[in-house]
Amino acid sequence: MQSLEAFADEKLASLDAKSLRRRLKPSRRHDGAVVERDGRRLISFSCNDYLGMAHHPLVRAAAAEAALNYGAGAAASRLVTGDHPLLSDLEKGLARLKGTEAACVFGSGYLANLGVIPTLVGPGDVILVDALAHACIWAGAQLSGARIVPFAHNDMADLERRLGAERPRARRALVATDGVFSMDGDIAPLDQLSVLCQAHDAWLLSDDAHGVGVLAQGRGSGALFPEAKIPLQMGTLSKALGSYGGYLCGSRAVVDLLKTRARTLVYATGLPPASAGAALAALDIINADPGLTETPLAKARLFTRRLGLPDAESPIVPVIFGGAEAALAASAALENLGFLVVAIRPPTVPEGTARLRLAFSAVHDDADVIRLADAIAHLRKVAA
Ligand X SMILES: *Cc1c(COP(=O)(O)O)cnc(C)c1O
Amino acid at 151: F
HSE value, Cβ hemisphere, 13 Å, CA-based, for 84 = 20
Of 71-79, 80-88, 95-103, 202-210, which part binds ligand X (CB under 6 A)? 202-210
Contact pattern from residue 57 through residue 96 relative to ligand X, giving x for each residue in contact according to CB under 6 A and a dash for the rest: ----------------------------------------
- What is the C-alpha to C-alpha distance for residues 292 and 232, in angstroms, rounded to an integer? 26
Our finding on whether 313 is near ligand X (CB under 6 A) is no
Our finding on whether 178 is near ligand X (CB under 6 A) is yes
Question: Considering the complex, what minimum distance in angstroms separates the CB of residue 244 from ligand X?
Answer: 7
Which of 176, 180, 134, 144 is CA-nearest to residue 159? 176
Our finding on whether 136 is near ligand X (CB under 6 A) is yes
Our finding on whether 50 is near ligand X (CB under 6 A) is no
Question: Considering the complex, what minimum distance in angstroms separates the CB of residue 28 from ligand X?
Answer: 20
- Cβ proximity to ligand X: between 134 and 364 the closer is 134
The dihedral built from the CA positions of residue 45, 131, 101 and 258, taken in this order, carries a sign that is: negative
User: Where do the DSSP E strands lie in 199-334?
Assistant: 203-207, 232-236, 246-250, 316-322
- Cβ proximity to ligand X: between 182 and 331 the closer is 182
- What is the C-alpha to C-alpha distance for residues 20 and 97, in angstroms, rounded to an integer? 39
Is 182 a catalytic site residue? yes
- Cβ proximity to ligand X: between 247 and 303 the closer is 247
- What is the C-alpha to C-alpha distance for residues 160 and 148, in angstroms, rounded to an integer? 15
- What is the C-alpha to C-alpha distance for residues 295 and 20, in angstroms, rounded to an integer? 34
- What is the C-alpha to C-alpha distance for residues 103 and 93, in angstroms, rounded to an integer? 9
Our finding on whether 220 is near ligand X (CB under 6 A) is no
Our finding on whether 134 is near ligand X (CB under 6 A) is yes
Question: Considering the complex, what minimum distance in angstroms separates the CB of residue 178 from ligand X?
Answer: 5
Interface contacts to ligand X, rule CB under 6 A:
108-110, 134, 136, 178, 182, 207, 209-210, 236, 238, 246
Residues that are catalytic? 182, 210, 239
